[in-house]
Amino acid sequence: MKKLIALVFSVFAATAQASGGSNLQHSGADLSDADSLKHGAALFVNYCMSCHSLKYVRYSRMAADLGLTEDEVMGSLNFTGAKFGEAMTVAMTAADGEKWLGKAPPDLSLVARVRGGPDWIYTYLKSFYRDPARPLGWNNVLFPGASMPHVLWEQQGVQSAVFDAPHGGPAGAAPVFARFEQVQPGQLSAEEYDKVARDIANFLQYAAEPAALQRQRFGVWVLLFLVALTGLSWVLKREYWRDVH
Ligand code: HEC
């Protein structure tokens, strides 16, 4: 029994670690918010798909799930020349990615699941800061040393990160992140940028499990069906027993 409890705890601890623990900000991503998903899809194809693919998502499937027509998707959400029935892949090869960025941009189909939910992506997109020591001049507090540049810097503006010396830790311990300071304003206000980050996180949450959206829709019908069935059974029971009494 003790072993079982220890196991359960270690699984919880591992999950908390994988999702970044308590450093994550609450994104408020909501799969039932159709406008947020559409906005997230548009942002993704415009700002992320030059590097990242979604190899498990087909354009046609995304259209059906998000309530978009084929024309809408092919006209404004497909810049790669792929066919409607094809997956959302990119032309950049892993070798090119490595050459230009130091690391190949990973496929993001499952990233929301691997990172434990949309809050990680939301926090990641808000945690880029200027760091002249990095090859591309950007670093990230949530993912230190990430080779991704801050592709949304024009929207968010440029921030620098302030670190405190660690208190009472072992000598040579890493400095502790204290806060961001805005060094250059962006085109968007902080609230507007939060919405951008939330909608992208929401869309990637959808991409990681397209069936979740269907489950949610079916769920309502299943409940309605059960309510109707209960009503019907009750009427039937009453009819049946009327003759017996
Ligand atoms: C210029 C190319 C480029 C663009 C554009 C880009 N990324 Fe990245 N991204 C990368 C690279 C390279 C990595 C790998 C970082 C590493 O592991 O050091 C990465 C990593 C990530 C990760 C972490 C994956 C993981 O779990 O390790 C996420 C999430 C991500 N990108 C999201 C986005 C989103 C959202 C956008 C659009 C707003 C975007 N990226 C645009 C290059 C790019």
Q: Which residues contact 17 (CB under 8 A, 6 or more apart)?
A: none
Quick: pLDDT tens for 71-130: 999 999 999 999 999 999 998 888 999 999 999 999 999 999 999 999 999 999 999 999
- Of 190, 183, 186, 193, give the one whose Cα is nearest residue 132: 183
- Of 198, 209, 211, give the one whose Cα is nearest residue 37: 198
Q: What is the pLDDT of residue 243?
A: 79
Q: What is the pLDDT of residue 7?
A: 58
- Of 93, 162, 108, 120, give the one whose Cα is nearest residue 19: 120
Q: What is the pLDDT of residue 227?
A: 95
Ligand 1 centroid distance, CA of 205 (Å): 15
Ligand 1 centroid distance, CA of 149 (Å): 8
Q: pTM for this one? A: 0.84
Q: What is the pLDDT of residue 244?
A: 77
Ligand 1 centroid distance, CA of 105 (Å): 6
Ligand 1 site-directed mutation target among 43, 50, 51, 113, most atoms within 8 Å of CB: 51
Q: What is the pLDDT of residue 22?
A: 57
Q: Which residue is listed with tokens 């159709």?
A: 34
Q: What is the pLDDT of residue 9?
A: 58
Q: Does residue 134 have a pLDDT over 90?
A: yes
Which residue's alpha carbon is nearest to atom 12 within ligand 1? 105
Q: What is the pLDDT of residue 19?
A: 44
What is the pLDDT confidence band of residue 6, given thresholds at 50, 70 and 90? low
Q: What is the pLDDT of residue 245?
A: 65
Q: What is the pLDDT of residue 68?
A: 96
Quick: pLDDT tens for 178-226: 999 999 999 999 999 999 999 999 999 999 999 888 887 788 889 999 9
* Residues 80 and 49 sit within 8 Å (Cβ to Cβ): yes
Q: What is the pLDDT of residue 18?
A: 47
Ligand 1 centroid distance, CA of 223 (Å): 40
CA separation, residue 9 to residues 22, 54, 77, 120, 229 (Å): 17, 33, 43, 22, 42
Ligand 1 centroid distance, CA of 107 (Å): 9
Between residues 242 and 4, the one the model is more confident about: 242
Which residue's alpha carbon is nearest to atom 41 within ligand 1? 48
Quick: pLDDT tens for 7-35: 555 555 554 444 444 589 999 999 999 99
Distance (Å, whole) CA 107 – CA 48:
11
Q: What is the pLDDT of residue 5?
A: 64
- What residues does ligand 1 touch, defined as CB less than 6 Å away? 47-48, 50-52, 101, 103, 105-106, 108, 111, 114-115, 121, 124, 146-149, 151-152, 200
What is the pLDDT confidence band of residue 2, given thresholds at 50, 70 and 90? low
Q: Does residue 140 have a pLDDT over 50?
A: yes
Q: What is the pLDDT of residue 16?
A: 47
